[in-house]
């Protein structure tokens, strides 16, 4: 979307950068995150309606602190600086930033001192969320102070003439009571942007883009059967019709009856060209003896591509491969900030060989999960399908700690199915973002009947989340966990102990590998 109806977010390493993007999109405005090194030429090419400078972990006076091209302030584009972004504005307009005597973290009450278009409708003394250890001690030239807190005398700065605004607090965080008003003030009153980022518009524009890119070429869609790949397949089919060939690969790491159910659903309900490839032996052979989770992901990603390339040769003239890559996959695999650390690679963004005959199409690369679900609804997919929990590309291979065997996969398949069935039985499946079982490389002593057992430990995981970037463990009622545990131990040979994971993200990830 390069038509001036977008917001550019320049990232300086804040933990909240993705949350800024989400809040803007919730207002039906498109936003893109780019590193702070994004050049003036790239900014002009994007032609955004506004620019937001994110927070960050460093201080602007540090020797290696990330900086910005000062010419950005001369583009005539409205700018909002948040936390580090505010201090960067001050630094570039001859203000002064120094370490604070008292660092300010958590809730504070904002005291409004003068009117500002960024604070329209904001309640005096309302709660804002602070996270900073520096203060502006000298007002930047041409700016006025609009608000303060007990520990922060310069909390909001404004240059109405240049349309440059700075906030020491984080409006994107839910704890900031009037954060939505502040963001909307910037979007609609200051940037004069239109709220046209909707599923219907996304579908329309995506179809136009896909047609322009693909023409009459053949396209292969990697159809796993999950929400992302299925929505991608239907979107592509609307764009190019019979030129789409969907390939479902059974990697041997799927859930119980997953492949059979996928084939049945698409054959009975959707007019797609669908090829089913059972490559389970190839995957399991390549995974034999491999325990390192990164190696598993790389092997699975490479093997998927190998199989697709084999199928493309059979098809004859396929030029493109479609994948349902999401924004969190990209963020976790390819850091936005140069100083960031890769958390884990995802098979659809981190495991591709250097040379690949097929060119990638990733229509959802800039989207969060809930946005893809809304697009699925727009395309007519039933709610029961679009609400399915996320399932990782490497499948159960990253839910078995240690090396992979068919026996372990079969054990985990049975246990996982029982767990998910219980969530449906108790009517709580839709309350949970993601739930699954993990087979641990740990055996413990148990007693079944009068006999001693020495079998595997199974961990259950269930979390609530909005986009997968952060997550909290789901607080089950004890009788639900008891029912799931009892059924698993009674019915799955090889498991004699069940535990529940109560870690949140961060510090843990949702998946165990």
Q: What are the DSSP calls for 26-68, one per residue?
A: HTT-EEEEEETT--HHHHHHH--SEEEE---SS-TTSTT----
Q: Using CA atoms, how far apart are residues 359 and 342, in angstroms rounded to an integer?
A: 24
Q: Which residues contact 105 (CB under 8 A, 6 or more apart)?
A: 130, 131, 132
Q: In angstroms, how far is CA 119 from the centroid of its own chain? A: 30
| Strands laid side by side in the 359-361 sheet | 273-278, 244-250, 218-222, 318-322, 359-361
Q: Using CA atoms, how far apart are residues 184 and 180, in angstroms rounded to an integer?
A: 6
Question: Which residues are identified as catalytic?
Answer: 83, 170, 172
The per-residue pLDDT for 333 is: 52
Tell me how far apart the terminal alpha carbons of the chain are, to the nearest angstrom.
Answer: 34
Q: Using CA atoms, how far apart are residues 179 and 122, in angstroms rounded to an integer?
A: 9
Q: Using CA atoms, how far apart are residues 440 and 455, in angstroms rounded to an integer?
A: 10
Rg (CA), the chain: 25
Rounded to the nearest 5°, which phi and psi values hold at 352?
A: -80, 135
The per-residue pLDDT for 448 is: 66
Q: What are the C-alpha distances in Å from 317 to residues 264, 314, 355, 358? A: 27, 9, 17, 10
Residue 175 contacts residue 16 (beta carbons within 8 Å): no
Nearest to 302 by CA among 355, 234, 341: 355
Residue 303 contacts residue 286 (beta carbons within 8 Å): yes
Q: Using CA atoms, how far apart are residues 333 and 348, in angstroms rounded to an integer?
A: 10
The per-residue pLDDT for 337 is: 42
> In this structure, what DSSP letter does residue 334 have?
S
The per-residue pLDDT for 432 is: 96
Q: What are the DSSP calls for 406-450, one per residue?
A: HHHHHHHHHHHHHHHHHHHHTT-GGG-SEEEEEEEEEEEEEEETT
Helices 369-378 and 199-214 sit at what angle, rounded to 10 degrees? 90
The per-residue pLDDT for 454 is: 77
Q: What tokens were used for 327?
A: 């924004």
The per-residue pLDDT for 1 is: 42
Return the residue matching tokens 């089913």.
Answer: 276
The per-residue pLDDT for 470 is: 78
Low-confidence stretches of the chain (pLDDT < 50) are 1-3, 334-354
pTM for this predicted structure: 0.73
The sign one gets for the Cα dihedral 284, 286, 292, 295 is negative
The per-residue pLDDT for 350 is: 40
Q: What tokens were used for 219?
A: 């396209």
Beta bridge partners of 181: none
The per-residue pLDDT for 479 is: 96
């Amino acid at each position: 979307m390069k038509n001036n109806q977008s917001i550019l977010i320049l990232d300086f390493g804040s933990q909240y950068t993705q949350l800024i993007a989400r809040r803007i999109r919730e207002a039906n405005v498109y936003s893109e995150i780019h590193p702070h090194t994004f050049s003036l030429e790239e900014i002009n090419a994007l032609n955004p309606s506004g620019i937001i400078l994110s927070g960050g972990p460093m201080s602007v006076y540090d020797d290696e602190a990330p900086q910005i091209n000062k010419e950005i302030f001369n583009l005539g584009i409205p700018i909002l600086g948040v936390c580090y972004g505010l201090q960067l504005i001050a630094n570039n307009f001859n203000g002064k930033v120094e370490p604070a005597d008292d660092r300010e973290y958590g809730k504070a009450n904002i005291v409004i001192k003068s009117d500002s278009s960024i604070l329209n409708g904001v309640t005096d003394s309302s709660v804002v969320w602070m996270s900073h250890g520096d203060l502006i001690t000298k007002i930047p030239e041409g700016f006025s102070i609009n608000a303060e807190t007990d520990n922060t005398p310069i909390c909001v700065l404004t240059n109405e003439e240049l349309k440059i605004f700075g906030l020491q607090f984080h409006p994107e965080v839910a704890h900031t009571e009037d954060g939505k008003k502040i963001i909307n003030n910037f979007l609609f009153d200051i940037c004069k942007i239109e709220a046209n980022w909707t599923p219907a518009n996304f579908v329309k524009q995506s179809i136009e883009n896909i047609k322009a890119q693909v023409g009459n070429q053949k396209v292969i869609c990697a159809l796993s059967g999950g929400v992302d790949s299925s929505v991608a397949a239907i979107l592509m089919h609307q764009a190019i019709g019979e030129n789409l060939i969907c390939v479902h690969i059974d990697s041997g790491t799927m859930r119980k009856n997953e492949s059979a159910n996928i084939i049945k659903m698409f054959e009975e309900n959707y007019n797609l060209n669908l090829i089913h490839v059972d490559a389970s032996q190839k995957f399991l052979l390549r995974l034999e003896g491999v325990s390192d989770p990164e190696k598993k992901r790389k092997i699975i990603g490479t093997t998927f591509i190998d199989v697709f390339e084999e199928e493309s040769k059979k098809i004859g003239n396929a030029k493109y491969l479609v994948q349902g890559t999401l924004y969190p996959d990209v963020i976790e695999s390819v850091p936005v900030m140069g100083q960031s650390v890769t958390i884990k690679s995802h098979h659809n963004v981190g495991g591709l060989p250097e040379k690949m005959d097929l060119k990638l199409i990733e229509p959802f690369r800039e989207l969060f999960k809930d946005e893809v679900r809304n697009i699925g609804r727009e395309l007519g997919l039933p709610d029961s399908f679009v609400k399915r929990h996320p399932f990782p590309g490497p499948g159960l291979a990253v839910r078995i700690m240690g090396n992979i065997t068919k026996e372990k996969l079969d054990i985990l398949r049975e246990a996982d199915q029982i767990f998910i069935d219980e969530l449906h039985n108790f009517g709580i499946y839709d309350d949970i973002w993601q739930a699954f079982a993990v087979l641990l490389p740990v055996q413990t002593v148990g007693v079944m009947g009068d006999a001693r057992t020495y079998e595997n430990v199974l961990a259950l995981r269930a979390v609530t989340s909005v986009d997968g970037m952060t997550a909290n463990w789901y607080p089950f009622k004890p009788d639900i966990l008891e029912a799931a545990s009892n059924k698993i131990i009674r019915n799955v040979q090889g498991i004699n102990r069940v535990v529940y994971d109560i870690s949140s993200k961060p510090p843990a990830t949702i998946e165990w590998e």
